[in-house]
Amino acid sequence: MYVVIVGCGAVGSRLARTLSREGHDVVVIDRHAESFKNLGSGFNGTTVVGTGIDEDVLRKAGIEQADAMAAVTSNDNTNIMAAQVAKEIFGVPRVMARIFDPDREYVYHEFGLETISPTAVGVERIKNALLADGCQRQMLLGSEGEVQIVEIIVPAEAAGRKVTEVEMEGKCVIGAVVRHGRAKVPFPDFELQVGDRVLATVRTDHLRRVRELFELGR
């Protein structure tokens, strides 16, 4: 993929390095040339000095051929404006904007902009860690949270159970199991072991039943 990243701070530079290592063509835009030092010597992409809301700068970065653009500066307004320009003027297929004020997120969604709030994500992760009891919610899906992606740490009580014993058609589907740091997509007769990290997609109204199948209680 050809990806344009606006902002070369801690997030932008790490994103750029990660995508570059994975073989993507990456161009990073930042107002300050010294910010590109964050990319390190191993970065194989291109850098452009300028602002992500300037059409000429975006063209120089190759926005017209970009498959995706991420606006991740430290300024919400800059990120939103850059995302709008990329989406509406240049027709970039996938555009993402980082925002710091989660209360404004719904407004941007009404304009068809895809956003992510580190504040909201961070609060959710911290809350999950504080309340961890073997089943942590990773993501809510749907306008009313009808479906959840959850991570379940298999307790001793559920060891030896097969994937088919805990899956419920249309209600719970196990997508992956992480064992000793290695992830795999389990086959139906795959037996769970104590400490396995199970990633499952669950209908919210059946979460209690899933917890019971893993014997996690409330």
Confidence of residue 218 (pLDDT cuts 50, 70, 90): very low
Burial of 29 (0-12, 13-18, 19+ CB in 10 A): buried
Task: Tell me: do 135 and 104 sit in the same domain.
Answer: no
Each residue of 63-102: pLDDT tens digit?
A: 999 999 999 999 999 999 999 999 999 999 999 999 887 7
Average pLDDT, the chain: 87
The answer, yes or no, to whether residue 32 has pLDDT greater than 50, is yes
Domain that holds residue 184: 130-213
Q: Which helix (H) or strand (E) holds 203?
A: strand 197-203
Task: Tell me: do 56 and 144 sit in the same domain.
Answer: no
Task: Tell me: do 70 and 137 sit in the same domain.
Answer: no
Q: Is-contact 162 186, C-beta < 8 A?
A: no
Which region among 67-71, 106-110, 168-172, 187-191 has the lowest average model confidence (pLDDT)? 106-110
Q: What is the CATH number of the domain that holds 160?
A: 3.30.70.1450
Task: Tell me: do 29 and 97 sit in the same domain.
Answer: yes
**pLDDT score, position 152:** 87
**pLDDT score, position 129:** 59
Count of domains forming the chain: 2
Q: What is the CATH number of the domain that holds 81?
A: 3.40.50.720
Total-model pTM:
0.64
Each residue of 166-183: pLDDT tens digit?
A: 888 778 899 999 999 899
49-67: average pLDDT: 97
Give domain status of residue 125, yes or no: no
Give domain status of residue 123, yes or no: no
Q: At which of 118, 151, 186 does a domain end?
A: 118
Give domain status of residue 31, yes or no: yes
17-43: average pLDDT: 94
Each residue of 114-155: pLDDT tens digit?
A: 887 777 666 666 665 565 556 776 677 776 678 888 888 888
Task: Tell me: do 7 and 108 sit in the same domain.
Answer: yes
Give domain status of residue 93, yes or no: yes
